[in-house]
């Protein structure tokens, strides 16, 4: 996973998986620029404050990024306890807006999106997710969602499903047109600051049932290595995958 000479941009770099990805990428030689609402807790080559729910804030942040980026890692996100509109804006629309705006900077590079094992049922809603993926830009996507509202209780899962579908469909196009490799990583439960909110979101009965069948939640430094691998030249022929990094949860349901 040699990242010497590469420039990585990591959203959500101030905590959780994003912070660990930034640390590990620096260990492997990358120049890492973090993006977040909050101050970073790790050393970075640069930091850009951004509100991923606001396209104007994203556009302003883009102006502060270098013209050449070797990899973008989209780690910023909120739990399903937030308002569904905010979940949509941060976990999907804002992520997509940033990625599309940086396509010219990323030619020949990589994008890694942090999805979730909770997005595993995307085939059940494939037509809807493809319709959302086909919308052009933040405003059009928001308008589509206003016409097709997502319930609070399933909004987190829904937008992780949508992210997986967009990663696959748009990832193929970006690779064919611009040699950009876009993939996603799907963690199970991870010991991050918002883990408690996931327990509330899923309910004690679901959490207790799952807990009896898995070893434990992951820690962020168990998620970061596969992410960094997908940013490296060693993954130069890996395109459009959704990689479960979940301690066997995906296998449990086969």
Annotation marks residue 158 as catalytic: no
Q: Is the pLDDT of residue 211 over 90?
A: no
Domain count for the chain:
1
Distance between CA 49 and CA 116 in Å, rounded?
Answer: 25
Q: Model confidence over 13-52: pLDDT tens digits? A: 999 999 999 999 999 999 999 999 999 999 999 999 999 9
- The string of pLDDT tens digits covering residues 66-78 is 999 999 999 999 9
DSSP letter (8 states) at residue 10: E
- Residue 252 falls inside a structural domain: no
The one catalytic residue in 92, 156, 158, 253 is: 156
What would the two tokens of residue 124 be? 């059940």
Report the alpha-carbon distance of residue 95 to residue 9 in Å, rounded. Answer: 12
The percentage of residues in the chain with a pLDDT greater than 70, rounded to a whole number, is 93
Residue 251 domain-assigned (yes or no): no
Mention every residue, 6+ apart, whose C-beta is less than 8 A from residue 100: 137
Full residue range of the structural domain in which residue 46 is found: 7-243
> Strands (DSSP E) along the chain, which ranges?
7-11, 31-36, 46-49, 71-74, 110-114, 181-187, 242-245
Has residue 254 been placed in a domain? no
249 located within any domain: no
Residue-wise pLDDT tens digits, 79-113: 999 999 999 999 999 999 999 999 999 999 999 99
Write the CATH number for 216.
Answer: 3.40.50.720
Nearest to 75 by CA among 115, 40, 24, 32: 115
Q: Is residue 36 part of a domain?
A: yes
Q: Return the closest-CA partner of residue 44 out of 72, 65, 15, 23.
A: 23
**pLDDT tens, position by position, 158-184:** 999 999 999 999 999 999 999 999 999
Residue 194 has pLDDT above 70, yes or no: no
pLDDT band at 131 (very low <50, low <70, confident <90, very high): very high
Task: Tell me the two tokens of residue 198.
Answer: 């996931």
In a domain? residue 1: no
């Amino acid at each position: 996973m040699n990242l010497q000479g590469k420039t990585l941009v990591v959203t959500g770099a101030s905590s959780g998986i994003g912070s660990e990805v930034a640390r590990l990428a620096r260990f492997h030689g990358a120049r890492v620029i973090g993006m977040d609402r909050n101050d970073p807790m790790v050393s970075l080559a640069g930091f850009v404050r951004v509100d991923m729910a606001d396209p104007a804030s994203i556009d302003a942040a883009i102006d502060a990024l270098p013209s050449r980026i070797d990899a973008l890692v989209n780690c910023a996100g909120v739990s399903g306890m937030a308002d569904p509109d905010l979940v949509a804006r941060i976990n999907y629309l804002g992520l997509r807006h940033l990625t599309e705006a940086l396509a010219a900077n990323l030619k020949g590079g990589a994008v890694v999106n942090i999805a979730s094992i909770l997005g595993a049922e995307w085939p059940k809603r494939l037509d809807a997710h493809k319709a959302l993926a086909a919308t052009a830009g933040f405003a059009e996507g928001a308008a589509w969602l206003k016409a097709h509202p997502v319930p609070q209780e399933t909004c987190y899962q829904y937008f992780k499903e949508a992210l997986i579908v967009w990663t696959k469909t748009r990832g193929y196009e970006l690779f064919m047109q611009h040699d950009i490799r876009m993939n996603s990583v799907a963690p199970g439960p991870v010991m991050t600051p918002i883990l408690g909110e996931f327990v509330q979101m899923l309910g004690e009965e679901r959490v207790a049932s799952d807990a009896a069948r898995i070893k434990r939640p992951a820690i962020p430094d168990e998620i970061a290595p596969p992410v960094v691998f997908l940013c490296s030249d060693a993954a130069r022929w890996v395109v459009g995958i959704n990689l479960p990094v979940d301690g066997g949860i995906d296998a449990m349901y086969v």
